[in-house]
Amino acid sequence: MSRFIQRIVLILMALFLLTPAVPARAADGTVLISNESANGYKTESTGNFSINNKSYAKNKKLQRASYRLDYVQPLKIRAKYNPLNHTSQKKKSIKVGSGKKFWVSDLSTDKRYQITAKLSYVGQHTKVWVNGNQLTKKDAETLGKTFDQTIFPLDNRYFGAPSDVDHDGKINLLCFDIKDGSAEQNGGFASGYFDPNDLYNGKKSNRSEIVYVDTYPSLGSSKHKKVSLAYSTLVHEFQHLINYNQNVLVEKKDEMDTWLDEGLSLAAEQLLAKKPLDDRIDYYNESSSIANGKSLLYWDDSGDNLANYSLSYLFVQYLYIQCGQPDDLFKRIIQDPHNNYRAVQDVIHDYISPAMSFGQFMSNFRKALYLNQADGPYGFHGIAGFQQLKKKVYNGKSKAPKLRGGGAIIVNSAASIPNEKGAPITYSNLAERQEDRDAPRQPRIAPFGDKDSQLRGNSEPGAVIAIVGKAGLLAKCKADATGHFQATIGRQKAGTVLDVFAADTSGNAGQSKKITVKDQTPPAEPIVYRFYHQQLKIQGTAEPGARVTVRYGKKKLGAVAANTHGKYSIKLYQKQKKGKKLTVYAQDRAGNKSLTRTFTVF
């Protein structure tokens, strides 16, 4: 991503120093700077779950639930998934009250160890197992019935079907005190997790579908637990299990990108709660890392990963609202052949606009977080709960922060605008009364070659166009009322890459259109060494790489490409008569043909 950021003196010259007609900021001084690249998050698994309490936003007004985390264990067992291994053995009937050993994880050290849990409830879709005295039998029954009657049908309806590797038709809920390394009263803690290793054959696999549920501090610190606090964890982790089944076990592909998988699990929580998640919105409002450019796409396990949850939650809700809240939206994303941003782009094309890119949609999302309008693309359509979102403004000291793909900041003064800008970085004016908040699309450029001196094309009517070369700004012009523009940039060397930008009258700067100067210059006539009638090879020099052809009248005698030094040697099938007139010409890779040279056979 850094290579994009480094391109920039050139672009700001083109976009913000061109003319006073293009303001660098809105009347109220707010500009969105957004990295529309989808290359911000790269899936990497360290195998450790990190509670980064030093990085989290600390506010006494935040509820304990605002620091709730979950975890999806990375896959370590590489044994082939084979459900037949589970059916080959006769199943033993397990009764309520029976004990069983389970492998669990210490999330702070990534070490697995065993605990013994007692079966406390068996229902239509679930078995509830309790370690020690963590839950009473009544609490376990309440938890199991809620899963059977509410959580299972909800996730099944909106997200899909779970796997059933042990063929018992049940999801195991294992309730115990998850070791996560958290010792702070007001800090991050793991409320539960899902471990895909349990779906494979391995030495420390439980060989069944399990949702791990934390009992302390998630369900309270007193002796009497509040099991209703586990419902959001259950619906969240069960989505992960369904998601993994569809993408990995059914489609035989990789796991879904973390930011999207977590956003869908948080959507499941909202469907269960039937209202926006106040804890995620509260944390968004307090997070300085989001204000300072945190990426939606990069799941930061070593920093403020609580902010990842808030951003993913808000993005998926924004997508849901903008698509019209269809019942099948989340299931369509999970069942899409892509397991990353392309799955989101596919539903954007289906429900919103086939012309909108994922990058443009990410920028619209950031505008919606700031403007929060009651309708249209820049808000959450007045839904209660989202109205409490605070405007997040960049407060860092750096004037030119580097943004990962999916990152964005809002600056409130021209002095805060970075001095550099990469190709996927866009600038958008956020004046709330301004009608045009969308950056223009990439300009359409007519073919341009090394013999041309004027570059022509089309863009948004009235837009300021800038053409940037390797050395800097080559020219600027303005599109007419029909969008046509023409700029004199002088002749450019074939193969030169130019960036063409458009900034509209509202100050919104779009992505660049890269063009490569075409080779329109024909090669010089080939030189032919003296050729005798006894010879079978015609030799000489021509433009390196050009194809040299020899003819006798209309008959082609042979052809070959000149080497990197410009030398060529054409082998003939028969000797030529003395005094015969032959012709030779060269044609380069771009199709340009030289003048024809005539020579005589000696």
Q: Is the dihedral of CA 323, 328, 330, 332 positive or negative?
A: negative
Q: Find the DSSP H helices in 190-326.
A: 231-244, 258-273, 278-286, 288-291, 305-322
Task: List strand residue ranges (DSSP E) for 59-110, in order.
Answer: 68-72, 99-106
Write out the H or E segment, with its range, that includes residue 11. Answer: helix 8-15
- Name the phi and psi angles at 485, rounded to 5: -140, 160
Alpha carbons 147 and 126: distance in angstroms, whole number: 7
DSSP helix/strand/coil, 469: strand
Nearest alpha-carbon partner for 548 in 571, 532, 531? 571
Q: Is the peptide bond before 461 cis (omega within 30 degrees of 0)?
A: no
Q: Which residues lie across from 101 on neighbouring strands?
A: 116
Selection from 163, 148, 187, 144 nearest residue 55 by Cα: 187
In whole angstroms, what is the distance from residue 286 CA to residue 278 CA? 12
Contact 282, 63 (CB under 8 A): yes
DSSP letters for 43-55: ----S-----TTT
According to DSSP, residue 388 is labeled: G
Question: Which residue type is seen at 529?
Answer: Y
Residue matched to tokens 């010792």? 183
Write the DSSP assignment of 186-198 as a string of letters: TS-EEEEEE-GGG
| b/e 345-382 (16+ beta carbons within 10 angstroms → b) | bbbbeeebeeebbbbbbbbbbbbbbbbbbeeebbbbbe
Closest CA to 519 of 491, 494, 493: 494
d(CA 70, CA 511) in angstroms, rounded, equals 37
Instruction: Give the whole-angstrom CA distance, residue 502 versus residue 498.
Output: 13
User: What number of helices (H) and strands (E) belong to the chain?
Assistant: 13, 24
Q: Which of 141, 237, 286, 543 is catalytic?
A: 237
Helix axes 341-351, 305-322, angle to 10 degrees: 20
Q: Which residue has the tokens 């930061």?
A: 300
Bridge partners of 408, per DSSP, are 34
Cβ 125 vs Cβ 173: under 8 Å: no
Spatial strand order in the sheet of 513-516: 472-478, 464-469, 497-503, 513-516
**Token pair 């799955």: residue:** 343
Tokens representing 470?
């390797």
Q: Is 420 a catalytic residue?
A: no
Q: What residues are annotated to the active site?
A: 237
